[in-house]
Amino acid sequence: MHVVFLDRATLAPQTQLRPLPFEHTLETFDHTAPNEVASRIRNAHIVITNKVRLTAKAVDGAARLRMVAIAATGTDNVDLRACEARGVVVSNVRDYAGHSVPEHTFALIFALRRSLLAYRDAVRAGRWLESRQFCFFDFPIHDLAGSTLGIIGDGALGRAVAQMGRALGLRILFAARKTRSDAQAGYVPLDTLLEHSDIITLHCPLTAETRHLIDGTAFARMKRRPLLINTARGGLVDEAALVEALRSGVISGAGFDVTTQEPLPADHPFQAILSHPAFILTPHVAWASNEAMQALADQLVENIAAFYEGRPRNVVAAVATAVVTEAITGIPTSTVTAR
């Protein structure tokens, strides 16, 4: 079995990858450019990728490919239809950052709600000495208790954020999905959430339906000048519209850990607000506590081992791959199940 890891540098050096429990060769690259993908996976049976994009063309050119192991939860970098057509199993890593992402979310909320970075920068610039008293009030400070937190996305991360919010005295609203009844406690239409929330935080996947979910029209519905927090995916928000909303005072602040293009290019709209006192941008690290990264690495290896043993798990594409798996492992197709 030949295994190729296309972007090992997306995991911190201290993160340990346990050896795979079967005979294999492992080829590891810190980074892989788009024009290098096809040649690097051409002879691979298993490809590991975090953010490197696997197109249909690249998948079709890898005749031996049997599994794509995504070292993340998001699957939008892999052409799932191409994998399904080829009988290639795609597995992702799930529920590994249940503490890291919610804690980062609230770090952004606290920092913005209390203007922590703005006050820190003012102190560095000598403003405290200029004030000639024990404190100064250049930036707003608000308590969280009694405010309304609107959460878009009610998966594990959204629910964890809700639990933390309730402990801090926040009123919780969830954006109702089409599959859920508005009558369920705390679930309201998206427009209602936008109108009544003091803080809005995104924890939903990026799909065709959710791309630019927060756009100019959505900002216009935000009546309470909320904070907008995004630790999910950059494409969920129209970034140019966000810049305008922040500058015009439609929102009181924004904390983002993700952007549509990463790393942030020189011509990105956010470049114009990086020094804004109510804007915080972190480099896609909400998930990246040491503990979360090690949990991710451990689950990644478990996913690959489970596939090799004929019981693929965390499958997001090509569920019915018994024949393919048998061809690699020798395990009879009758024993192969997906979970």
- Predicted confidence at residue 186, as pLDDT, reads 86
Q: What pLDDT, on the 0 to 100 scale, is given for residue 181? A: 55
For position 182, what pLDDT does the model report? 58
Q: Is the pTM of this model over 0.85?
A: yes
Same domain (yes/no): 132, 115: yes
Q: What is the mean predicted confidence (pLDDT) over 229-246?
A: 97
pLDDT, one tens digit per residue, over 245-295 is 999 999 999 999 999 999 999 999 999 999 999 999 999 999 999 999 999
Using alpha carbons only, how large is the chain's radius of gyration in Å? 23
Residue 206, domain CATH: 3.40.50.720
Residue 170 CA to residue 164 CA, distance in Å, equals 9
Residues 243 and 316 reside in one and the same domain:
no
Residue 336 has pLDDT above 80, yes or no: no
Considering the domain architecture, whether residues 10 and 124 belong to the same structural domain is answered as no
Mean pLDDT of the chain: 92
Structural domain range at position 213: 100-281
The answer on 150 and 72 residing in a single domain is: no
Mean pLDDT of 44-71: 98
Catalytic center residues: 233, 262, 284
| Residue where a domain terminates, one of 264, 281, 298 | 281
Given a cut of 60, whether residue 335 has pLDDT beyond it is: no
pLDDT in tens, 81-137: 999 999 999 999 999 999 999 999 999 999 999 999 999 999 999 999 999 999 999
Q: In this model, does residue 176 exceed pLDDT 50?
A: yes
Residues 150 and 196 in one domain: yes
Measure CA of the first residue to CA of the last residue in the chain; give whole Å: 23
Mean pLDDT of 198-202: 98
- What total of structural domains would you count in the chain? 2
Residue 124 sits in the same domain as residue 219: yes
- 8-state DSSP, 78: B
Do residues 277 and 295 both lie within one domain?
no
Asked if residue 329 and residue 215 are part of one domain, the reply reads no
| Percentage of residues in the chain having pLDDT higher than 90 | 89
The average pLDDT across 35-56 equals 98
Q: Are 220 and 80 within one domain? A: no
pLDDT of residue 320: 43
Tens of pLDDT, residue by residue over 246-256, are 999 999 999 99
Based on the fold, state whether residues 306 and 212 are members of the same structural domain. no
